[in-house]
Every structure is written in C-alpha cells, then in structure tokens.
C-alpha cells in the first residue's frame, strides 16, 4: 500500500511541475521523507528552483552578406535566463535552397552574458570550395554545449540567403554535402562527438565602418566610427594612402583639402592577426565656395532693349541663383536674359552652390544702365522721380510740368532737359539738381541743338520757354546747373528755400534769378545777358549775406538786387555783380536787423535804384536801413562805393549813365524798439543820395576818411545825450548840404562843463 502511495505521490509531484507549485503544495510537502529524501534524493521544490536559475541563450537577430567569397554578418545573442551564461561558441550553418541538409561551415565567439544582456557578435566565414547556387544561412548559439540552458529551442535563427557563383569558393573541405549539426554535449561536456562533417573554419578579424561621410561633402572635417569582430580588437587607420597608424573609434580628420579622399581602417585581434581586407570609405571634400566668373555682360550706358549675361563657376556641377536689382534670388542658368528692362540703372547678382551645398558669397557682378533716346515730360509729377543720363539721353518738356508738394524731382549730373516753346517747370515740392562742375545739369530751349542732340530749329532765343517757377512751400536746390533761353531762369515766391550754387546761366528776357523765399543762397554763379531785369534779384526776411557771394554778371542789368532783412551777422562781399538796393516804401529796401552787424567788405559796390524788382513797384529810391550795426570797412586802395544805379562809372553799366542827387535815399540809421543803431563809415564813397547818411542815435556815428558827393544832404545826424559822432578827414563835394544836425539836448536841464565841436572838411557849404 505504501508503494502505491509513493507512486501516486511521484505522479502527482510530476503534475505539480506542470500545473504549478502552489496548487500542489500539499503533495510536495508529503514527498519530503523524514530522512530528507525525495526524488533522486532531493526535494522537488529544490529541483524546480534550480531549473529556474539556469541561463537561456537565444539568437535575437542575424544577417549575412557575401563579399569576395566570404560570408560576413552579425548575430545578436541574448540571455533571457536567470543565470549568467559563460563565454560560448556560436555556429554558422547553411543549407542549399534546392535540397540537402544543413552543414555547419564556421564558428565564432560570443561573450559571457549576464541575465537580460545581449552581445552583437560579428563573423566571417570563407565560402567552401566548389559551392554554387543559393543557400539559406542560419546562426545557432552555443553549438558546443558550453552553457547549461533552460531550453535549446530558441538557439538558432535564419540570417539570410546568399547566391554563390561557381568557382567562387576560397576555402573548404571538398564538395559540400549534407552534414548533421553537432549534437549537444552531455551535461558539463565541452567537446561535441566526432562527426563526419568538416572541421570548423577559423574566422580572421573583420572590420566594419559604422558611420562616416560618403559622396561629396561641404565640410573640411570628417569623423568615422567603426568596430571589429571582438571587444578586445585594436585598429589601424590610414587616410589617402598614408602609413597605417594606431587609431580608435571615432577617428576624426580636420582641415581636409578640397578634393577626393579615401579612409581605410583594419582590425588587429588579440592573436595579432590583421584584417586582410580593410574597410574603406571614399568621399570628396568641396568646402571652398565656388567662384563665379562673368564671361559676358553689358556695362555703362547702353540703348534700352534685350540684355544677356553669361557666367560660369570654377566647380563643375554648381547650380546658380540670380537676382536683378536687389530682388529675390531665384534659380537660373547661363545665359541670363532680361527681355525688357526698365529704363535706368540695373545690377545683376549671381551666387553659385557646389554639389556639397556650399554657396559662395553673392556680389554685384554686373551693372549697366538701359537708356532711352528721349523721354518726354508733361503734366504732374506726383511721386519721387530721378531723371538723368542713366535713364534717357535727353528729356523734353512737351507741356508744362508741375512737381507736386512733398514730391522730389532729382536730376543727376549730365541730365539734359529741353523745354518746348512757352512751357515751364513748376515746383511746389523739391527740385534737386545735383550736377558737378564737369557734368552740369542743363535746362535749355527745344531749339538749342548744342545740348542733347538735334530737337529744334538750332536758333534758340531768350524767352523760348518760361523757366523754372517755384511757389507755395516749394524748394529749389541747384548745384552746377546751366539754365538758358528762358524768360526768367528761376522765379517765384515761396516759404521754402532757394539755393543756386555754381550756376552758369544766360540769355534771359527778365532776369536770371528773381525769387522771394524763406531762405536764399546764391554762390559762385554767373548770369550773362539778363535782359531788362537784374541778373539776380532776391527777397527774404532771413538773409545771411555770407550766402550771397562770389557771383558775377555781364550784359543786361548786371547787378545783384538784395531786399528784405539781414537777420544774421554777416559780410557784404565785393564781387563781380554790384549790389542793388530797392525802395523801402514798397518792401524792396534792405534792413539790418537790431542786434545784427553787417560788415561791408573793401571794394564792394552798392547801388540804389527806384524799382522793386521782386514786387514790380517803384518808390522814392533804394535805401539801406540800419537798426543794428553797419561797419563799412573800406581801404584807401579799395574804398566801398555807395552810388546810384545810373552811375556807370562804378560796378559796370547798370543805368542811364546820368546819375543825380536823389536817385536813391541813402543810408538810414534809426532806432528800433530795442536799441539805437551804430554806423561806422571808413574809406567809403557815398554819392547821388537824397541823404548820404541819415543817422538818429544815442550811440556811435563815425565818418572817417570818406568822400560824400552829389547828395542832397551829405550827413544828417540827430543826436541826443550819449551820441558819439565823429567826422574826420572826409571830403564833401557838390552836396546840397554837407552837414546837418539836430539834438534834443537841453543845456539848462542837463548842463555840461565843456563842449567841443570840430569840423574838418574840404568843399564844405
């Protein structure tokens, strides 16, 4: 009865191994003999625990490829058991895809593996001699039975299929044939039983490049990573055929020259064996940006029309992007063509990118101007415009043109503008004439064929066109200009500014310049044949006489008419065009403002007339009114001359040649609301005035080394307490009255201890 119970217990114990220890715990407990006995003398629980602590190898992944008669590949072997697996031997086997059994053809080593650890092992196996056809290659773990495993079922995995050409085998043991894989060794054994198949093939070291550049690269550095067959392998590297040198992964090279390069690496195993077939990688460096050469392109000013530009790069296979006039770069090819360019300057830029993606710096490689033969101007210019020889060979005003307020019309150097009969250029915005001495801007008649080609009769005349007219708040800035054959070169009234510098003007009916403006500058300009009006006529309440200098005039009325108020201390310079004063009664006189000093330069000629050339009104004669200080600084060799417009003996022909006393009013010094004036005349000549000097002041009046002639009254001084009047070495001649004076001094109210009056004159009356 006990024997049957024992047998039942054994069977139930076996069933426990299948169904689980928990369900069978009572049975397992009953198997434990009092003497410690059990199955094979050990408790069943102990047997189960021991099995659970075994290693369990499995091939997780495998691949294979055929290279020069050698099978190369990798196998990932993992330990899914609970116990460490010692280093073991894996096998490579193949089987003909058509028929036949599996033959082991090589072996390789797998490192020791802790639980859950994996090893990616590499193998190289020579193709057996005489092999041909297609073969299925598989990899098996622990083919020598060196590891006690929980299961052998997951030890093998297919690595791939290879096709062998006849005669490509390099090693072997004769014709291939069926061979059974070696059987597992007995527990604890290390040597498989002898078989009839071939002995294992030795696997020499192998090298694999994992990463690195290939093809064409745009960097001058390169980095390679690689590995060998075993963890203890070492490596040797060579670049471009250089001697082999010890290296490690990763291997980096810097400052590589542009051009092709070849990197090689080989493995040396622990036994000193060297990989006979080093791994290699070839690449080409193109780190230097490509350089562009323009082989054909326009330049300078060319007639408007088709433009073609050809170019090339110094690196074959480069691609191009082009930009016209600063626009977006777009893909292009050579030749680049612009079918209908707009009139004006153009720039062409091209950039090249080599096969490595390196782009050279873009730059303006071609520039030109597409020029119309003629461009007509007519009507309103409502937006900013630049005109010049880069746009048209000439411009023709076919009907009157108006530059709107807040709009700028800019004329480049060498611009030629011709005006049809009776037309004008009206400016309410800004006219910016930017000529140079070598390339002035020309405004002329349509009939003037000397500039801009043949456009008219060839017989231009004063008054062919109306000229430039400024109005509203318009401004005109003209540098190095030529203005000819207009009624008036530049005229009008504006709150803006007018500037004429280095002008060469001529042939007018009613003067060259006649403007009333917020600010006026006229320097270094010449007017020829101004007609019946002064060459220059200006009015401003903000005059600075230093800005009216270096000018000259011949023909017509060669004078510079100045009216308004001098608001900045400045100098009235001696120049080729005499100054001309108008009557203050109609706003044409010239006033030196309170607090302002006007110095008259030696040699200056200032004439007084009876006409307001800005406002077309007449009066009793021109006058210079002084509210501030007038310092006339002549010399004996170069006296300052104040005279009549009709006196042609000084400053050229400006009038009838028959001057008379009273032609102009003279110099009038009168107190302002803030101060009394100061007048200092030294080496001055004052003639043909109503009163040469009429001064009312409690300050200084000095008449020193002067000549006063042909005046109604030469000097008239209205003095008060504090007046310091001195007249020395002065010539008085042919005056109605040489000296006149008055004073509000009351000697009773304000007695003085002494008073001295001295008169030194010649020809006094």
Query: Is 153's pLDDT higher than 80?
Result: no
* CA angle centred on 421, ends 415 and 427, rounded to 5°: 55
Q: According to the model, what pLDDT value does residue 28 have? A: 33
763: left (phi over 0), alpha (psi -120 to 50) or beta: left
Which pLDDT belongs to residue 97? 77
Query: So what's the pLDDT on residue 168?
Result: 57
d(CA 293, CA 310): 9
Cα separation, 743 vs 755, in Å, equals 14
**Most confidently modeled range among 16-25, 124-133, 243-252, 267-276:** 243-252
Q: Is the pLDDT score of 19 beyond 80?
A: no
Vertex 232: Cα angle to 227 and 236 (nearest 5)? 55
pLDDT class of 175 with cuts at 50, 70, 90: very low
- Binned at pLDDT 50, 70 and 90, residue 579 comes out as very high
Do 306 and 338 meet the contact criterion of CB atoms below 8 Å apart?
Answer: yes
Q: Is 145 left (phi over 0), alpha (psi -120 to 50) or beta?
A: left
Q: Judge whether residue 188 has pLDDT over 60.
A: no
Residue with tokens 């397992």: 28
Residue-wise pLDDT for 377-388, tens only, equals 999 999 999 999
Residue 746, pLDDT score? 61
What does the alpha-carbon distance between residue 410 and residue 233 come to, in Å, rounded to a whole number? 80
544-571 confidence digits (pLDDT tens): 999 999 999 999 999 999 999 999 999 9
C-alpha count within 13 angstroms, C-beta hemisphere, residue 426? 17
Q: What is the percentage of the chain residues whose pLDDT exceeds 70?
A: 85
pLDDT of residue 564: 94
Q: Is the pLDDT of residue 12 over 80?
A: no
Average pLDDT over residues 619-629: 90
The whole-angstrom separation of Cα 318 and Cα 291 is 10
695 neighbors 669 (Cβ within 8 angstroms): yes
**Amino acid 365: pLDDT:** 84
Helix 2-19 crosses helix 44-52 at what angle (to 10 degrees)? Answer: 20
With tokens 């199955």, the residue in question is: 39
Q: Are 279 and 266 in contact (CB under 8 A)?
A: yes
pLDDT for res 48:
40
**Which residue would you say has higher pLDDT here, 10 or 413?**
413
The two structure tokens encoding residue 604 = 């200056």
203 falls in which pLDDT band (50, 70, 90)? low
| Cα separations in angstroms, 304 against 322, 377, 393, 451 | 21, 18, 11, 21
pLDDT tens digits, one per residue of 520-535: 999 999 999 999 999 9
pLDDT at 521: 98
Confidence grade of residue 342 (pLDDT, cut at 50, 70, 90): very high
**Residue 271 has what pLDDT?**
81
Q: How far is the C-alpha of 544 from the C-alpha of 522, rounded, in Å?
A: 10
Specify the pLDDT at position 52: 55
Q: Is the pLDDT of residue 170 over 50?
A: no
- Amino acid 348: pLDDT: 96
The answer, yes or no, to whether residue 480 has pLDDT greater than 70, is yes
- What's the mean pLDDT when you consider all of the chain? 86
Read off the pLDDT band of 622 (50, 70, 90).
confident
**Does residue 250 have a cis peptide bond before it, meaning omega lies within 30 degrees of 0?**
yes
Segment 75-113, tens digit of pLDDT: 999 998 888 888 888 999 888 877 767 888 888 888 889
Q: Return the pLDDT at 751.
A: 59
**What pTM was estimated for this model as a whole?**
0.65
Highest mean pLDDT among 154-163, 666-675, 715-724: 666-675
Q: What is the mean pLDDT of residues 132-155?
A: 86
The span from the CA of 427 to the CA of 425, in Å, is 7
Res 215: pLDDT: 92
Please tell me the least confidently modeled range out of 166-180, 440-454, 613-627, 634-648. Answer: 166-180
Q: What span, in angstroms and rounded, lies between the C-alpha atoms of 308 and 629?
A: 69
Assign 66 a pLDDT band (cuts: 50, 70, 90): confident
Which span out of 182-186, 595-599, 746-750 was modeled with the highest average pLDDT? 595-599
Average pLDDT over residues 449-478: 97
CA atoms within 13 A on the CB side of 101: 9
Task: Locate 180 and state its tokens.
Answer: 């059974």
- The owner of tokens 């009793």 is 620
Compute CA distances 63 → 111, 139, 487, whole Å. Answer: 18, 9, 100
């Amino acid at each position: 009865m006990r024997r049957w119970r024992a047998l039942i217990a054994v069977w139930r114990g076996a069933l426990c191994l299948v169904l689980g220890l928990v369900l069978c715990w009572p049975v397992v407990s009953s198997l434990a003999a009092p003497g410690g006995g059990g199955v094979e003398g050990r408790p069943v629980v102990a047997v189960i625990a021991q099995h659970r602590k075994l290693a369990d190898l499995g091939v997780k992944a495998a691949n294979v490829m055929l290279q020069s008669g050698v099978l190369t590949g990798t196998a990932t072997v993992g330990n899914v058991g609970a116990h460490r697996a010692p280093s073991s031997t894996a096998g490579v086997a193949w089987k003909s895809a058509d028929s036949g059994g599996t033959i082991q053809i090589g072996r390789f080593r797998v490192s020791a593996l802790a639980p859950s650890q994996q090893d990616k092992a590499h193998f190289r196996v020579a193709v057996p001699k005489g092999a041909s056809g297609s073969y299925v290659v598989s990899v098996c773990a622990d083919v020598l039975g060196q590891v006690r495993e929980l299961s052998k079922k997951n030890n093998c995995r297919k690595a791939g299929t290879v096709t062998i050409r006849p005669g490509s085998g390099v090693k072997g043991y004769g014709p291939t044939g069926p061979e059974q894989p070696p059987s597992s060794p007995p527990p604890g054994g290390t040597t498989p039983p002898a078989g009839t198949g071939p002995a294992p093939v030795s696997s020499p070291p192998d090298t694999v490049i994992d990463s690195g550049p290939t093809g064409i690269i745009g960097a001058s550095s390169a980095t390679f990573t690689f590995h060998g067959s075993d963890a203890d392998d070492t490596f040797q590297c060579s670049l471009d055929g250089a001697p082999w040198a010890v290296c490690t992964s990763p291997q980096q090279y810097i400052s590589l020259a542009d051009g092709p390069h070849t990197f090689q690496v080989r493995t040396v195993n622990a036994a000193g064996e060297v990989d006979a077939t080093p791994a290699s990688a070839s690449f080409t460096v193109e780190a230097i940006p490509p350089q562009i050469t323009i082989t054909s392109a326009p330049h300078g000013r060319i007639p408007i029309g088709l433009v073609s530009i050809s170019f090339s790069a110094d690196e074959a296979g480069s691609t191009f992007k082009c930009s016209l006039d600063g626009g977006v770069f777009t893909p292009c090819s050579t030749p680049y063509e612009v079918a209908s360019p707009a009139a004006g300057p153009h720039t062409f830029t091209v950039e090249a990118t080599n096969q490595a993606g390196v782009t050279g710096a873009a730059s303006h490689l071609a520039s030109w101007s597409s020029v119309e033969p003629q461009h007509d101007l007519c009507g309103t210019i409502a937006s900013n415009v630049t005109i010049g020889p880069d746009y048209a060979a000439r411009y023709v005003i076919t009907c009157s043109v108006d530059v709107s307020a807040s709009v700028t019309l800019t004329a480049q150097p060498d611009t030629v503008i011709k005006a049809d009969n009776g037309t004008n250029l009206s400016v309410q915005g800004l006219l910016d004439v930017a000529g140079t001495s070598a390339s002035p801007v020309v405004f002329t008649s349509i009939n003037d064929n000397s500039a801009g080609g043949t456009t008219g009769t060839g017989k231009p005349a004063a008054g062919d066109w109306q000229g430039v007219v400024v109005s509203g708040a318009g401004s005109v800035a003209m540098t190095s200009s030529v203005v000819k054959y207009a009624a008036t070169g530049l005229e009008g009234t504006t709150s803006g500014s007018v500037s004429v510098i280095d002008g060469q003007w001529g042939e007018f009916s009613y003067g060259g310049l006649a403007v009333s403006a917020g600010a006026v500058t006229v320097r270094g300009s010449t007017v020829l044949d101004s007609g019946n009006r002064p060459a220059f006529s200006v009015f401003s309440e903000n005059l600075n006489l230093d800005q009216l200098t270096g000018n000259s005039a011949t023909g017509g009325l060669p004078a510079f008419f100045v009216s308004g108020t001098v608001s900045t201390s400045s100098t009235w310079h001696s120049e080729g065009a005499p100054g001309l004063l108008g009557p203050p009664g109609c706003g044409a006189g010239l006033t030196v403002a309170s607090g302002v000093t006007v110095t008259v330069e030696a040699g200056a000629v200032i004439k007084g007339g009876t006409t307001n050339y800005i406002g077309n009104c007449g009066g009793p004669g021109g006058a210079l009114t002084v509210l501030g200080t007038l310092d006339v600084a002549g010399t004996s060799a170069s006296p300052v001359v104040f005279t009549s417009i009709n006196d042609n003996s000084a400053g050229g022909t400006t009038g009838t040649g028959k001057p008379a006393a009273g032609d102009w009013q003279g110099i009038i010094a009168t107190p302002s609301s803030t101060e009394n004036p100061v007048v200092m005349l030294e080496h001055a000549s004052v003639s043909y005035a109503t009163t040469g000097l009429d001064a009312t002041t409690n300050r200084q009046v000095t008449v020193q080394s002067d000549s006063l002639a042909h005046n109604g009254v030469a000097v008239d001084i209205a003095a008060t307490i504090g007046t310091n009047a001195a007249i020395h070495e002065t010539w008085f001649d042919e005056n109605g009255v040489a000296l006149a004076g008055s004073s509000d001094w009351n000697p009773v109210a304000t007695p003085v201890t002494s008073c001295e009056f001295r008169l030194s004159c010649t020809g006094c009356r």
